[in-house]
Structure formats: C-alpha cells, structure tokens
Structure 1
Amino acid sequence: MNPEKLAKLQSQVRTGGKGTPRRKVKKSVKPVVKEDPKIASTLKQLNVQPIPDVEAINMFKEDGKVIGFTAPRLSANIHANTFVVAGKAEEKSPEQALSDMLSRMGGGSLGPDSLSQLAKLTEGLQAGASGAGDVDDDIPDLVASEDVADSKTDLNAAD
C-alpha cells in the first residue's frame, strides 16, 4: 500500500492530537449526577427516610399556580413534620394540574361527567384565588374583660 495514502487515512481517523488513540467514533462522557455532600449530611442529621412509590406531587401556590413534580424522590421525618422533595419541577396552571391528576386516577379517559367535575373544580379554585386576598390573617387585638377586672378588685378587697 502507498505510505502517503496510509498516512492520510490514519490522520482522518485520529480524533485528537498526536498520541491519542485512533477511533472513528467520539465517545461522549455523560456527567454523573451526584448529590451535594452538605445536603446529604443535613438530611442524615434530620433523620429523613425515603418514601417509595410516589408518582407525583403538586404544590398549590397562593397566586393560583401549581408546582408539579413527576416521579419525585420523597424523603420524610413525619414526627418532626419534615418533608424533602427532590426532582424536576414544572410550574403549571391549575387546569393542567387537575387534568394530570384526573388522568392518573382515572386511567386517562375523561367522560362527560368528569369534564363537568373538572369545570366545577377549576371555577372553585379561581374563585378561591380571587377571594384569598380578602381574608384577614392578622392576630386580633387583646380586649380587657370586665370579669378579669372585677376579680382583681375582689382579690384586693379580700386582703
């Protein structure tokens, strides 16, 4: 074989510079997803245990949007009321979240009755979201009671 032609073919299959192996296919190295050691040590301190077989988690926000996790990793310490959710999160509208929940529960088939129930639920959510700003969550002011004042004067009179 012609040495010039052979050198040309060899240079075509070399993926790197001089001294690298001759491979026609570049193999890409996938990054390994590794948990942060600080998070792992904190979870160990919190004594959370994994909860298996959780298909989805939906968190309803005050503004009416829903944060949805599909196939999350859920860990919990129920006695300390501590829950840890790990996974890919998506922000959805309430309608999307409810349709996803119904499809998971009902096997994906929505009948005419299910659609009317879904419409009622979304109307209720929208009405609840608009009326949520009217709720007064402040702590009420303390009011002095007349019974307490009378009992204090009775105690002073008994001395």
Structure 2
Amino acid sequence: MNKERLMKMAGAVRTGGKGTMRRKKKAVHKTGTTDDKRLQSTLKRVGVNTIPAIEEVNIFKDDLVIQFVNPKVQASIAANTWVVSGSPQTKSPDNMEHLKRIAEEMQKQVAAAGATAQAKEENDDDVPELVPGENFEEVAQETKA
C-alpha cells in the first residue's frame, strides 16, 4: 500500500476534521426491535388484550405438540386472533402421557360440542309448545278490564 491511500482510509474514520480522534468502534444498528415494535402496533390496531395467569399452552399439530411454558397470551375475540409468544418446545405426544390424555379429552370435547350445536340447529325451527290449560286471549282481556 502506498502512503496516500493509507492516509485516505485513515481520514474516513475520523469523527471531525483533521486532528480529531478516530472512532473507537463501529456503530452497529439493530433492526430486531423495529420488527417487534411494528408487530405490537399492528396487534394494538387489531385490539388484542393480554390474558393473565396462563401457565402453559399446547398446540397439537398432526403428530407434534408445540409447548409454551409461561407464555404471554394475547387475544382479540372479535378478530378471532390469538397471539402466543414465548419460547416454544417441540415434543412428541408419544413420550408424554399427560399430553396424550389432554389431546384425547380435547377431541371428546370438540365432538360433544359439535353434537350439541347440531341438536340446537334442529330444535331452533320448532315452535315451542303452549302451556296446557291457559288461554292467553282470556288473560289479555282480563288485564284490559
């Protein structure tokens, strides 16, 4: 390297003019916090509320279980949006008996909820029976008099 080129490179790292100190270290800009801020502002627009005191969240997906221990859970019922943030662990339900039991109970609850919803839909079309022995027209005329 020649002396002119070396002086030109050294001049590029000065913070001021000739005779000032050079920078001690290179400034590193972080973009990770901007992504988090952008996500939080979007969630605020959706209208999510924090749900306190949730110790564990298990997401059952095919043959895997994604488990969050002490997660931050936010929900917006109107937007049908749930946000679970924390450190996830991917596990197999075969190794964990209590997760297998929970999965079976959830499947039973979903099946039962579907059956009751179907029964309610069938009963909604029916006209309710009147109370036997009462004539509502007579009661209405008595109240007028």
Please give the TM-score of this superposition, normalised by the length of structure 1. Answer: 0.39
Please give the TM-score of this superposition, normalised by the length of structure 2. Answer: 0.43
